Amino acid sequence: MMLGELYGLGDDAAGAPTGSVLLYQGVWQVTPTLNVNTIVSRVSQAVRMYGLQVTNSQNDGGAFTLGNFNVTFLLQVTGGGYSQPEDAASMVDHAYYTVVGRMPVSSSAFLQSESGTYGGGIPPNVPPGGSGSPPPDLTTWITSNAWWLALLGAAVVVLPKIL
């Protein structure tokens, strides 16, 4: 039985039935103890308990990412289904919360295929994370990397004195 049927919405309202493919996009944050790859890996495993399987993922974070990074998951609904794609996004958000201890900056989910026969990975015209948000400007980049810039500034001042 679908969640939509449970609430009297019928099959037509079931926006993410079993077997469907969803595109999840989120803006997440790293923590001092967890890097981007660890977070993405742990969340990918945690969503299985909610009837979701990550079939493909991409992110724009790296080993030196501080602050926010964009993540995109292609999800296969393996459990009982969801009334709306956003319900599945809430489950991914909760999995992120259990891993990191905070909620995502933003997230959204879109139905790619109800039949589960979606033929590709993440569509090439979809930027990672966000809902089509433009790339960050210089101010956003400086804010996101303030700690690294401060560390670099301290190194420039301290290293010559040590040497």
Considering the domain architecture, whether residues 109 and 141 belong to the same structural domain is answered as no
Considering the domain architecture, whether residues 83 and 153 belong to the same structural domain is answered as no
Percentage of the chain modeled with pLDDT above 90: 36
Domain count of the fold of the chain: 2
DSSP state of 21: E
Over residues 94-146, the pLDDT tens digits come to 999 999 999 999 999 988 877 655 555 555 555 554 444 445 566 666 666 67
Domain extent at residue 57: 3-132
CA–CA gap between residue 117 and residue 57 (Å, rounded)? 17
Considering the domain architecture, whether residues 24 and 71 belong to the same structural domain is answered as yes
Over residues 28-76, the pLDDT tens digits come to 998 888 888 899 999 999 999 999 999 999 998 887 788 889 999 999 9
Rounded to two decimals, the pTM is 0.66
Considering the domain architecture, whether residues 39 and 100 belong to the same structural domain is answered as yes
C-alpha dihedral, 150 to 106 to 79 to 17, nearest 10° = -150
